[in-house]
């Protein structure tokens, strides 16, 4: 039977705006995430149109990786990481997104991070854009709705590749690009929020704007892939999908069809474009029924064809159910909407925990695309307790990860070509959906709290030693 690759990429994943802090240091400009205040699992975060005094913005200081990167990467190395996923803050490189020349201090910071990883033989995996864009582009173009952003992004991604591709093998273009197919994508993913100030959940959704903006991201992504292939043949460049597996609530054929449609437009649409290089046929009907008309330029289809990705990556946290039934409770998750699955438990944030769903999903993805796959996010957001002696006993996190790794190995036995696994938030960081610090994922605890207090010291949780053994044994000791 097949087993995990010998050089399987074990590691962890992060994103710039959720952990770097130093939001206005060394020439950095404000990004969309820098305008977001924090919420809770019940209250949405808000976006402001200017930085307001006496308001708490969680991204501004975060866990200050910017000044702690050496200490943090040393801890990752101690766990035995083979890969470290992080993203580039666009506004460190181009503060407004519209400058002609990149800010060297920004590029230098990421070069230092890369060098530090290399020192320990950790392979960097760089997400070029993870849920943020320069706020100036929101004001000027209404985010990705403006076609001009393609050119701005090209300048940015070229600057990143030109500086780092000699040292870095793996890149991803946009984090969870399919967030743009859902109303939640308005803010963090697409920046299509012009003139808006209020809770994110109240932002008026406009699918025409969202899908047009998404088209611009597709073109920008394909142009980046093409550039990487032409100039750095040794680089592998992938896409990144937020996969929320949808099950039919019952075996009623109506439910089966609903689940299929949901899987197509929410989970597969973006990767069909990015892996195959063209819009899938099923999208036509969806666009027609939702009065969506995609404005394309003459070369767009050609660019999409020429810029297909080398490998497929995704985040996996939960599954959901969909069906006609009205008498079952809806799940309360921030990003997934559907019906509660009576066979599954859920996290405190309403995300349904489904390890077998990961095996199912890996099989579905690999069958569809037949290119290497990587799980670049997975994990349990939980409230950890810091004991008086400084220890953190997170057995629930170990259970979650163990059960998912078990199923991931089953999928490899099923035949899936899996490159690696990077659990989300390997060091505690700020939640993307709520802006909370209290929702922790890490193997490393950071002394930082939702009121902004904390001395930023780092401590190993129980899961730290556990994950170290998992990596050492290449997944045979769980
Ligand atoms: C994904 C994002 C990450 C991340 C993770 C966990 O959707 O790519 O940025 O934060 O989800 O979500 P949350 O932080 O909301 O718990």
Among 131, 63, 40, 62, which residue's Cα sits nearest to residue 377?
131
- Check residue 334 and give its pLDDT: 46
SS3 content of the chain, % helix, strand, coil (to 5): 40, 15, 40
Ligand 1 centroid–CA 20 distance in Å is: 15
Residue nearest to atom 9 of ligand 1 (CA): 432
Beta strand ranges found along 9-160 (DSSP E): 9-13, 46-47, 83-87, 123-129
- Residue 200 is predicted with a pLDDT of 79
**Ligand 1 close to Cβ of residue 132 (< 6 A):** no
CA distances from 334 to 40, 178, 261, 338 (A): 10, 15, 21, 11
**Cα separation, 469 vs 465, whole angstroms:** 7
Pocket test for ligand 1, best of 62, 315, 348, 429 (most atoms within 8 A of CB): 315
Phi, psi of 123 (to 5 degrees): -80, 120
- Find the 221 Cα to ligand 1 centroid distance in Å: 21
| pTM of the predicted structure, to 2 decimals | 0.97
Distance 381 CA to ligand 1 centre (A): 9
- Could you tell me the residue ranges of all domains in the chain? 9-472
139 catalytic per annotation? no
pLDDT tens digits for 277-299?
A: 999 999 999 999 999 999 999 99
Average pLDDT score over residue span 143-155: 98
According to DSSP, the residues that pair with 243 across neighbouring strands are 316
Given this model, what pLDDT does residue 398 score? 98
pLDDT > 90? residue 335: no
**pLDDT by residue (tens digit) across 62-108?**
999 999 999 999 999 999 999 999 999 999 999 999 999 999 999 99
Q: What are phi and psi of 236, to 5 degrees?
A: -110, 135
Mean pLDDT of 311-337: 78
Query: How much is the mean pLDDT over the chain?
Result: 95
Phi, psi of 388 (to 5 degrees): -60, -30
> Does the beta carbon of 422 sit less than 6 angstroms from any atom of ligand 1?
no
Give the helix/strand (H/E) hosting 460. strand 458-460
Q: Is the CB of 200 under 6 A from ligand 1?
A: no
38 pocket-lining for ligand 1 (C-beta < 6 Å): no
Q: Distance (Å, rounded) from C-alpha 220 to C-alpha 223?
A: 5
| 3 state DSSP class of 74 | helix
Confidence of residue 147 (pLDDT cuts 50, 70, 90): very high
Residues 6 or more apart whose CB falls under 8 angstroms from that of 152 comprise 94, 97, 98, 134, 137
User: pLDDT at position 330, please?
Assistant: 67
Q: Is the CB of 433 under 6 A from ligand 1?
A: yes
Structure tokens that stand for 260 in this block:
């299929």
Least confident stretch, 187-201, 248-262, 457-471: 187-201
- What is residue 331's predicted lDDT score, i.e. its pLDDT? 63
| CA distance readout (Å), 40 to 14, 58, 244, 438 | 20, 12, 21, 9
433 C-alpha vs ligand 1 centroid, how far in Å?
6
**How large is the C-alpha radius of gyration of the chain?**
21
- CATH architecture assigned to 9-472: Alpha-Beta Barrel (3.20)
pLDDT, position 274: 99
Listed ranges 43-57, 195-209, 257-271; the one with the highest mean pLDDT:
257-271
* Residue-wise pLDDT tens digits, 390-449: 999 999 999 999 999 999 999 999 999 999 999 999 999 999 988 999 999 999 999 999
The count of other CB atoms within 10 Å of the CB of residue 43 is: 13
Residues of the chain with pLDDT > 90, as a percent, come to 87
């Amino acid at each position: 039977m097949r087993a995990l690759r010998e050089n399987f990429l074990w590691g962890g994943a992060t994103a710039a705006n959720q952990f770097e802090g130093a939001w206005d240091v060394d020439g950095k400009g404000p990004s969309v995430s820098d305008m977001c205040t924090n919420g809770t699992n019940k209250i949405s975060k808000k976006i402001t149109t200017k930085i307001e005094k006496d308001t708490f913005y969680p991204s501004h200081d975060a866990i200050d990786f910017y000044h702690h990167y050496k200490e943090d990467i040393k801890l990752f190395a101690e766990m035995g990481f083979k890969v470290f996923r992080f993203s580039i803050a666009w506004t460190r490189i181009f503060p407004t997104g519209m400058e002609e020349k990149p800010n060297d201090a920004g590029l230098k910071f990421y070069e230092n991070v890369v060098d530090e990883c290399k020192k320990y033989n950790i392979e960097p995996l760089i997400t070029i854009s993870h849920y943020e864009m320069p706020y100036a582009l929101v004001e000027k173009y209404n985010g990705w709705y403006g076609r001009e952003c393609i050119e701005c992004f090209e300048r940015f991604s070229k600057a990143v590749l030109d500086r780092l591709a000699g040292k870095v093998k793996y890149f991803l273009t946009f984090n969870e690009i399919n967030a743009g197919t859902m109303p939640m994508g308005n803010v963090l993913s697409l920046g299509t929020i012009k003139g808006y100030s209020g809770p994110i959940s109240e932002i008026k959704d406009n699918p025409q704007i969202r899908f047009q903006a998404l088209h611009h991201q597709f073109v920008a992504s394909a142009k980046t892939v093409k550039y990487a292939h032409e100039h750095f043949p040794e680089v592998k460049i992938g896409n990144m999908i937020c996969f929320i597996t949808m099950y039919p609530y019952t075996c009623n054929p109506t439910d089966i069809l609903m689940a299929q449609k949901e899987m197509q437009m929410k989970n597969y649409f973006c990767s069909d474009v990015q892996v195959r290089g063209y819009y899938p046929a099923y999208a036509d009907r969806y666009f027609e029924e939702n009065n969506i008309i995609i404005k394309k330029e003459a070369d767009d289809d050609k660019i999409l064809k020429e810029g297909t990705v080398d490998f497929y990556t995704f985040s996996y946290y939960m599954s959901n159910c969909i069906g006609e039934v009205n008498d079952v409770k809806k799940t309360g998750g921030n990003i997934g909407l559907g019906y509660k699955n009576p066979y599954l438990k859920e996290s405190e944030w309403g995300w349904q925990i489904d390890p077998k769903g990961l095996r199912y999903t890996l099989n579905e993805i690999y069958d569809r695309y037949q290119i290497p796959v990587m799980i670049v996010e997975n994990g349990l957001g939980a409230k950890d307790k810091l004991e008086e002696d400084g220890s953190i006993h997170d057995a629930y996190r170990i259970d979650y990860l163990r059960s998912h790794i078990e199923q991931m190995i089953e999928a490899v036995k099923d035949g899936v070509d899996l490159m690696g696994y990077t659990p989300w938030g390997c060091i505690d960081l700020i939640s993307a959906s709520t802006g909370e610090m209290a929702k922790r994922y890490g193997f490393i605890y950071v002394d930082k709290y939702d009121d902004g207090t904390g001395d930023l010291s780092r401590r190993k949780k129980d899961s730290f030693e556990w994950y170290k053994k998992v990596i050492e044994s290449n997944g045979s000791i769980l």
